[in-house]
């Protein structure tokens, strides 16, 4: 059997400048249609998921979760979006690039819909996605592998108690400022809150150097996500 190809994973957060809301309703609708059309066009070539962060963050409005076998396809999509009528009003305050790879600690562990090794991203289609960059302290890497494995086994065991929460781990070593980019899919934000609280009590968490900012993203179609930017009065 041929070895599976690893994938590039990108989380791109967009901020729409206030001046965009000063356009006429017709201009805004035309811009949204062009933006959504570009997203849908590229969704036929690679995985593209659209999320709104309106009302959950004050520094970004939209997030695109993109997964591709090539980095160039991800670049092409962002370039295309900047070329739309909305392009002059878009900023990217946050951007996280990673790749898939086989896990050092959880190679035997899979969730439903997720194949062993996690080389291919298979979203479960949950309503919410929680995304954050993650960095371990250098002291973690100085520990013996067996000690790290024991701590991670306890960490993973905590996650098993929350089957409604599905983790997607991206490896960013050498690609971006963080070491990992984590994305948790769930239909139950309360389960995710409880999971994170429990994880704080595990010994492995002592070696967390950074795990912020954290983004609460709501899954929507491209059109729906764009509509949250400026809804008409009902």
Q: Residue 111 pLDDT more than 50?
A: no
Q: What is the distance between the alpha carbons of residues 220 and 179, in angstroms, rounded to a whole number?
A: 28
Number of domains in the chain: 2
Q: Quick one: pLDDT at residue 106?
A: 77
Which percentage of the chain shows pLDDT scores above 70? Answer: 92
Taking 80 as the threshold, does the pLDDT of residue 187 lie above it? yes
Q: What CATH number corresponds to the domain at position 67?
A: 3.30.70.1030
SS3 state at 4: coil
**Does 136 lie in the same domain as 88?**
no
Query: Could you tell me which residues come within 8 angstroms of residue 95 by beta carbon, excluding any fewer than 6 positions away?
Result: 10, 11, 12, 13, 176
pTM: 0.92
pLDDT in tens, 34-88: 999 999 999 999 999 999 999 999 999 999 999 999 999 999 999 999 999 999 9
Looking at the fold, whether 193 and 223 belong to one and the same domain comes out as no
Are residues 25 and 45 both part of a single domain? yes
Same domain, 197 and 168: yes
Q: What pLDDT was estimated at residue 112?
A: 43
Rounded to the nearest integer, the mean pLDDT of the chain is 92
Say if 77 falls within a structural domain: yes
- Domain span including residue 51: 8-98+218-227
At residue 1, the pLDDT reads 37
Whether 14 and 91 map to the same domain: the answer is yes
């Amino acid at each position: 059997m041929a070895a599976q190809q690893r994938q590039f994973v990108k989380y791109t957060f967009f901020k729409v400048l206030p001046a965009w809301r000063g356009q006429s309703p017709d201009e805004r609708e035309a811009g949204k249609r062009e933006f959504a059309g570009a997203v849908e066009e590229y969704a036929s070539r690679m995985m593209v998921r659209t999320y709104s962060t309106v009302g959950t963050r004050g520094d970004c409005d939209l997030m695109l979760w993109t997964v591709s076998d090539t980095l160039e396809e991800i670049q092409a999509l962002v370039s295309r979006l900047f070329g739309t009528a909305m392009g002059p009003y878009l900023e990217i305050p946050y951007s996280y690039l990673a790749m898939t790879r086989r896990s050092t600690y959880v190679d035997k562990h899979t969730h439903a819909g997720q194949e062993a090794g996690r080389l291919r991203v298979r979203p479960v289609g949950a309503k919410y996605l929680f995304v954050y960059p993650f960095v371990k302290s250098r002291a973690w890497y100085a520990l013996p592998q067996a000690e790290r494995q024991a701590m991670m086994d306890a960490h993973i065991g905590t996650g098993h108690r929350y089957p409604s929460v599905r983790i997607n781990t991206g490896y960013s070593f050498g690609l971006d400022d963080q070491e990992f980019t984590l994305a948790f899919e769930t239909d139950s934000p309360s389960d995710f809150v409880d999971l994170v609280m429990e994880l704080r009590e595990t010994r492995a968490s002592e070696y967390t150097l950074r795990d912020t900012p954290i983004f609460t993203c709501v899954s929507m179609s491209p059109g729906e996500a764009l509509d949250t930017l400026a809804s008409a009065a009902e």
